[in-house]
Chain A
């Protein structure tokens, strides 16, 4: 039977302890986490540069004549850039939180960040597919006309068959996989926020 506050307080402080880990190890850990984030960022930047070099090379080497081809190339680069930027957490700065505010504000902040993340994921994924398929369609016009009507048509059918598969099958599946845990987190955060109001 628990009688009063003092009993609870005595129990609380009484037995639970863990030796403080060595301070150097602790700070090494902080350094490792930072370094990993930085490496990912560098890798992302490198990929972006390489992609752009490759497309520039295509542009110079094949000397497209039609404007549609050039616009197509630009759209494809953009879609790739968007993909790399989001997949290598280069947008991390958008999601930085302030861990030293009070709990109520921190919860509101976490919730806002997660909602922003959800919105961004949805928007960016749509943008990526629209730019990529639009870019490919434009890019192919010049070469499809060279192939003649029949092969040109086949080339378009194959390309857009694949894009349709990606849009109607792969995209919703990926979205479900990415958004389900995020929605769960948002739901839990809202619940915790309610606790403070009660």
Chain B
């Protein structure tokens, strides 16, 4: 429990940002971040340290994001008590909002890769999270950054 609490405090914001990058919806991101930590809690006793704990957590978070594709659309998105839901932060504004919007317009896997990159993870670690080669990660990040820079050319300060 102590371990989990530390992990939770250390990684909550980082996981939440990854989910925001993927979903660009504060409430939904908070939901998916929570689901991530529920999985972390369940799986922690089986974690054997084959990768760094951060890599492991980001794998779960990335998969939890992608899982949104496969989830039953008829099911209510969240089963969490209302009072937690209300605590979610207001949506970002200005340039920050523009960045998250621009990221959310990328393809699913690109959204994950760039979110991990902007989160400051080394490319080798991103490669191990996503399951592609480091070279491939480098090429993709380069392309995605070009796309984002291009999008920012149209940013008019709104």
Chain A residues engaging chain B, CB cutoff 8 angstroms? 1-2, 5, 8-9, 11-23, 25-30, 32-33, 36, 99-107, 110, 114, 181, 185, 188-189, 192, 195-196
A17 and B43 contact, Cβ closer than 8 Å, known pairs A99-B60, A196-B131: no
Taking CB atoms and an 8 Å cut-off, the chain B residues in 6-43 that contact chain A are 8-9, 12-13, 16-17, 20-21, 26, 29-30, 33-34, 37-39, 41-43
A12 and B17 contact, Cβ closer than 8 Å, known pairs A19-B87, A19-B89: yes
Residue pair A104, B84 in contact (C-beta under 8 Å): no
A sample of 27 cross-chain residue pairs with beta-carbon separation below 8 angstroms, ordered by A number, consists of A9-B118, A9-B120, A12-B99, A13-B119, A16-B96, A18-B16, A18-B26, A20-B12, A23-B5, A26-B41, A99-B39, A99-B64, A100-B43, A100-B47, A102-B129, A103-B59, A103-B62, A103-B109, A104-B130, A104-B132, A181-B73, A185-B70, A189-B69, A192-B66, A192-B107, A195-B108, A196-B131
Residue pair B9, A20 in contact (C-beta under 8 Å): yes
Residue pair B66, A103 in contact (C-beta under 8 Å): yes
Cβ-defined partner of A11 (8 Å) among B62, B67, B95, B145:
B95
